Amino acid sequence: MTDTHTGPFIAAIDQGTTSSRCIIFDRDGRIVAVDQKEHEQIFPKPGWVEHDAAEIWKNVQDVVAGAMVKAGASREDILSIGITNQRETTMLWDKRTGKPVHNAIVWQDTRTDVLCKKLGGEIGQDRWRRETGLPLAAYFAGPKIAWLLDNVSGLRERAEAGELLFGTMDSWVIWNLTGGVNGGVHVTDVTNASRTLLMNLDDLKWNEEIAAEMGVPMQVLPEIRSSSEVYGTVTGGPLGGLLAGVPVASALGDQQAALFGQTCFATGEAKSTYGTGTFMLMNTGEKLIHSESGLLTTVGYRIGDQDPVYALEGSIAVTGSLVQWMRDQMGLIKTAAEIETLAMSVEDNGGAYFVPAFSGLFAPYWRSDARGVIAGLTRYVTKAHIARAVLEATAWQTREITDAMTKDSGVELSALKVDGGMTSNNLLMQFLADVLDAPVVRPMVAETTCLGAAYAAGLAVGFWENVEDLRANWRRAAEWTPDMDPEVRDREYKHWLKAVQRTMGWQDE
Amino acid sequence: MAKNIQSLERAAAMLRLLAGGERRLGLSDIASSLGLAKATAHGILRTLQHEGFVEQDPGSGRYQLGAELLRLGTTYLDVHELRARALVWTDDLARSSGEAVYLGVLHQHGVLIVHHVFRPDDSRQVLEVGAMQPLHSTALGKVLAATDPVAHAELVDAKREPFTARTVTELDEIERTLDLTRAQGYAVDNEETLEGVAAVAAPIYDRRRLAVGAVGITGAVERVCRDGELRPELIAAVRDTARSVSRDLGAKPF
């Protein structure tokens, strides 16, 4: 029995889309204490989403203090602090007052659609894909900076005069933690910088040409650092009293942090996070792979001055949200978990396939003219068959991404590490293993995002020696092994792909 | 059916009356609609009110259907909901105890395993979700039989197979164990199902204090027992987990 937590600990801050959290971990990677606070979602116009960065910073301080109290920990117990954050959310602040000059523009915000089309010009959305690994899409941070400078009066002049600093949420939190207006360090890590459309993937430096084309002055950009090193120490402010001198020692975008927390340190190891949508990342090692199949190329992580580790990323827009849709819009189930009960009341999908292309198809198709379909309907099909098709849709979409990853990387997936809310669905996890024809493994700590940030922060201060120490902490909570006749798998996949074809070209553009 | 119970018929008529058209009715309206003396109607209403099927508006004194009646149709707890709520707590139990965790519910004549967390070592283990366990010899089964009358009836009717020399099959002795289980709030299986394997389990309650399942750990006797008894710290960890899941399901401590 090892149920008593004794320090030292590592604190991880997860500055997420809907809330900020702080989790304190012990050496075994076990959770000692959690505190969490939601922040306001601001919707000024359809398609626009903003956050108040000042509110977020206040919440971050509250949850760090809250977690410290719950853990009964003092400054001496906390060896370092790590940060993971919602990616791409963009803000500018005044370096003398420390005040944000506008609400942060959240990653989901689509206001830069038109700007991105314009920047693509005749080449289109792949204009800077070679350099940055990304398509010109509204998610990414660079065009959001340009939008702020061009649409909020006075900002461009102030930016060019060197008065403003840009940051994704990692930069904002680190700058404030390390002293803010009194010498706060203005840095970002390679994973967050790799989501700006402004960083070269090969040399991990800002691309001045792209910045100039986009209209982003170089002086607003933070210094790009590794994901795991001491950026500075906690200085001043309310947290200064509590944690003064504690090293701030990691930053990772949330999906990269989950990859790290799942200990996917070897080439070919992959994790998939099943939430509202799904994000899958595969470690491709020191090799930078340009996807031919519509995947993104991104930095997985970089530990100190070691070589960077790259990753391929595939995202699925609609997974958990399809179950919510069945509950809220269709009223076929009362709780999300009931989808499994309904689906299990039948043996198979009864010939029905559900492609939830609600807002187009993401990887590997990238078709914005696609819309959702339920294909293969006959008089025989019941709501239970549809429930089954709903779960199968998540698995087949994962299969399409893993196929694309295998094609791009030449590496066969040996096992898929999963996390997120949908991993409690046993039927889905089994079906996932069946259609991938690979084991699906769930780790014992569900909080892989925070854990990844803690791991990186602990490595930087020598709390853990190396990634092998971290691997030793990884515990298998469950494993689903494939158990499907290959003929059935092939037949079902063919049907799925046929159903996907039916979604395309629905929306006139 | 030769003869029905009159007061139940009257109570049913009252509920129908309150469910139709006008939702709030005074005592005299109810009595006259059903052709009852006021005192008779009041007695029935008071009983229904006590059971939560009827509520009285404190201002007007009028009667309406009670919240309990609305809940009747939705008491069934989905086992997948149970698993989703238990996930975090059972992961933590596996980690702190170092043993495999099982969550079981009554299904037909035995315990259906609805959730299984591997023992946190690197050994090969097979997911046992969907497997059935016997009621009379396992810790999960004893907890269910001690807390759920339907499970108890199944246990009494079941063929009680002796799996090991320690398996108890005599009904009298089993009943004594179930009494003990109720009194102490957990059940133990000390090599009664499998040689060399022991387990401890505790009940999970929903917001109505009905037992909806059991959670427990299972492991080699060399690890989970000391001097032939389940280690007390493991019992405490299992009971803590059961309480946490119950609390998440809305169960109050008392």
Please write the tens of the pLDDT for every residue from A77-87.
999 999 999 99
Confidence category of residue B124, pLDDT binned at 50, 70, 90: confident
Cβ within 8 Å, pair B80-A338: yes
The overall average pLDDT reported for chain A is 92
N residues, chain A: 509
Shortest distance, CA B239 to any CA of chain A (angstroms): 14
Question: For residues A443 and A477, is the Cβ–Cβ distance under 8 A?
Answer: yes
Shortest distance, CA B49 to any CA of chain A (angstroms): 28
pLDDT of the residue at B74: 52
Stretch A462-474: mean pLDDT? 90
Question: For residues A389 and A383, is the Cβ–Cβ distance under 8 A?
Answer: no
Shortest distance, CA A330 to any CA of chain B (angstroms): 19
Shortest distance, CA B221 to any CA of chain A (angstroms): 15
How far apart, in whole angstroms, are the C-alpha atoms of residue B229 and residue B188?
A: 9
ipTM of the modeled complex? 0.75
Q: Which residues contact A416 (CB under 8 A, 6 or more apart)?
A: A270, A271, A272, A398, A402, A432, A436, A438, A439, A440, A441
Confidence category of residue A1, pLDDT binned at 50, 70, 90: very low
**Nearest residue of A to residue B78, measured between CA atoms:** A338
Percent over 90 (pLDDT), chain B = 57
List CB contacts (< 8 A) between A478 and chain B. Answer: 116-118, 127
How far apart, in whole angstroms, are the C-alpha atoms of residue B89 and residue A336?
A: 19
pLDDT of the residue at B75: 52
Q: Phi/psi zone of residue A420: left (φ > 0), alpha (ψ -120 to 50 degrees), beta?
A: left
Cβ within 8 Å, pair B83-A337: yes
List CB contacts (< 8 A) between B78 and chain A. Answer: 334-335, 337-338, 341
How far apart, in whole angstroms, are the C-alpha atoms of residue A317 and residue A394?
A: 10
- With a cut of 80, say whether residue B112 has pLDDT above it: yes
**Nearest residue of A to residue B87, measured between CA atoms:** A424
Backbone φ and ψ of A134, nearest 5°: -120, 150
Helical (H) or strand (E) element with A258: helix A254-261
- The dotted CATH code for B6-70 is 1.10.10.10
List CB contacts (< 8 A) between B96 and chain A. Answer: 1-3
The three-class DSSP label of residue A484 is coil
Confidence category of residue B253, pLDDT binned at 50, 70, 90: low
Cβ within 8 Å, pair A444-B83: no
C-alpha torsion sign, points A202, A367, A85, A14? negative
- With a cut of 80, say whether residue A425 has pLDDT above it: yes
| Residues B151-158: contacts with CB under 8 Å, at least 24 apart | B151/B106, B152/B178, B154/B106, B154/B108, B154/B109, B154/B110, B157/B109, B158/B109, B158/B110, B158/B134
Percent over 70 (pLDDT), chain A = 99
Residue type, B129: V
- With a cut of 70, say whether residue A191 has pLDDT above it: yes
Confidence category of residue A113, pLDDT binned at 50, 70, 90: confident
List CB contacts (< 8 A) between A2 and chain B. Answer: 96, 98
Please tell me which of the candidates A340, A477, A479 has its beta carbon nearest to residue B94.
A477
Maximum Cα–Cα distance across chain A:
70
- Best-predicted range by mean pLDDT (A195-199, A265-269, B7-11): A195-199
List CB contacts (< 8 A) between B120 and chain A. Answer: 444, 475-477
DSSP A220: G
Q: How confident is the model over B195-214, as pLDDT tens digits?
A: 999 999 999 998 878 889 99
Cβ within 8 Å, pair B96-A335: no
pLDDT of the residue at A438: 93
Question: For residues A474 and A266, is the Cβ–Cβ distance under 8 A?
Answer: no
- Cβ–Cβ pairs < 8 A, chains A and B: 72
Cβ within 8 Å, pair A444-B87: no
How far, in Å, are A174, A354, A380, A399, A502 from residue A497 at the CA level?
Answer: 45, 11, 22, 11, 9
List CB contacts (< 8 A) between B212 and chain A. Answer: none
Cβ within 8 Å, pair B118-A478: yes
Q: How confident is the model over A298-353, as pLDDT tens digits?
A: 999 999 999 999 999 998 888 988 998 999 889 999 888 899 999 999 999 999 99
CB proximity A345 to B under 8 Å: no
- With a cut of 50, say whether residue B80 has pLDDT above it: yes
How far, in Å, are B20, B55, B61, B63 from residue B24 at the CA level?
Answer: 10, 10, 9, 5
B6-70 shares its CATH topology with B80-248:
no
Confidence category of residue B72, pLDDT binned at 50, 70, 90: low
Helix axes of A169-177 and A53-71: crossing angle, nearest 10 degrees: 60
pLDDT of the residue at B71: 59
The structural architecture, per CATH, of the domain B80-248 is: 2-Layer Sandwich (3.30)
CB proximity A476 to B under 8 Å: yes
pLDDT of the residue at A2: 42
- With a cut of 70, say whether residue A143 has pLDDT above it: yes
List CB contacts (< 8 A) between B94 and chain A. Answer: 444, 475, 477
- Which of A30, A429, A475, A480 would best serve as a mutation to test chain B binding (most B beta carbons within 10 A)? A475
Q: How confident is the model over A380-398, as pLDDT tens digits?
A: 999 999 999 999 999 999 9
Question: For residues B107 and B139, is the Cβ–Cβ distance under 8 A?
Answer: no
Stretch B226-236: mean pLDDT? 94
List CB contacts (< 8 A) between A421 and chain B. Answer: 84
Q: How confident is the model over A435-460, as pLDDT tens digits?
A: 999 999 999 877 889 999 999 999 99
CB proximity A30 to B under 8 Å: yes
Question: For residues A295 and A305, is the Cβ–Cβ distance under 8 A?
Answer: no
Nearest to B101 by CA among A444, A177, A433, A405: A444
Question: For residues B200 and B93, is the Cβ–Cβ distance under 8 A?
Answer: no
The three-class DSSP label of residue A266 is coil
Per DSSP bridges, beta strands B63-65 and A416-419 are unpaired
N residues, chain B: 254
Residue burial A69-108, b: 16+ Cβ < 10 Å; e: rest? eebebeeebbbbbbbbbbbbbbbbbebeebebbbbbbbbe
- Which of A263, A388, A424, A450 would best serve as a mutation to test chain B binding (most B beta carbons within 10 A)? A424
CB proximity A447 to B under 8 Å: no
| Residues B220-228: contacts with CB under 8 Å, at least 24 apart | B220/B196, B221/B190, B221/B191, B221/B196, B221/B197, B222/B196, B223/B98, B223/B99, B224/B99, B224/B198, B224/B199, B224/B200, B225/B190, B225/B198, B228/B190
Stretch A42-60: mean pLDDT? 91
Percent over 90 (pLDDT), chain A = 70
- With a cut of 60, say whether residue B38 has pLDDT above it: yes
Nearest to A170 by CA among A63, A88, A52: A88
Stretch B222-244: mean pLDDT? 94
The three-class DSSP label of residue A231 is strand
Residues in B whose CB is inside 8 Å of some CB of A read 74, 78-81, 83-84, 87-88, 91-92, 94-98, 115-118, 120, 122, 125, 127, 129, 231, 233-234, 237
pLDDT of the residue at A339: 93
- CA A104 to chain centroid, in Å, comes to 18
Question: For residues A140 and A87, is the Cβ–Cβ distance under 8 A?
Answer: no
The overall average pLDDT reported for chain B is 89
The three-class DSSP label of residue B141 is helix
Nearest to B128 by CA among B118, B138, B136, B140: B118
List CB contacts (< 8 A) between B115 and chain A. Answer: 426
| Residues B16-21: contacts with CB under 8 Å, at least 24 apart | B18/B54, B18/B63, B18/B64, B18/B65, B19/B65
Q: How confident is the model over A486-504, as pLDDT tens digits?
A: 999 999 999 999 999 999 9
Question: For residues A429 and A418, is the Cβ–Cβ distance under 8 A?
Answer: yes
CB proximity A341 to B under 8 Å: yes
Confidence category of residue B100, pLDDT binned at 50, 70, 90: very high
Q: What Rg value do the Cα atoms of chain A yield, rounded? A: 23
How far apart, in whole angstroms, are the C-alpha atoms of residue A393 and residue A326?
A: 13
pLDDT of the residue at B254: 53
Kindly list the domain boundaries of chain B, sorted by start residue.
6-70, 80-248
Stretch A120-125: mean pLDDT? 89
Backbone φ and ψ of A196, nearest 5°: -100, -15
- With a cut of 60, say whether residue A429 has pLDDT above it: yes
Helical (H) or strand (E) element with B203: strand B197-205
How far apart, in whole angstroms, are the C-alpha atoms of residue B215 and residue A3?
A: 18
Question: For residues A84 and A12, is the Cβ–Cβ distance under 8 A?
Answer: yes
User: Is A344 exposed, middle or buried, given 0-12, 13-18 or 19+ CB atoms closer than 10 A?
Assistant: middle
Cβ within 8 Å, pair A424-B118: no
Nearest to A474 by CA among A257, A260, A263: A263
- With a cut of 90, say whether residue B78 has pLDDT above it: no
Confidence category of residue B70, pLDDT binned at 50, 70, 90: low
- Which of B75, B77, B80 would best serve as a mutation to test chain A binding (most A beta carbons within 10 A)? B80
User: Is B17 exposed, middle or buried, given 0-12, 13-18 or 19+ CB atoms closer than 10 A?
Assistant: middle
What is the residue-wise DSSP string for B114-137? Answer: EEEE--SSSS-----TT-EE-TTT
Per DSSP bridges, beta strands A104-105 and A50-51 are antiparallel
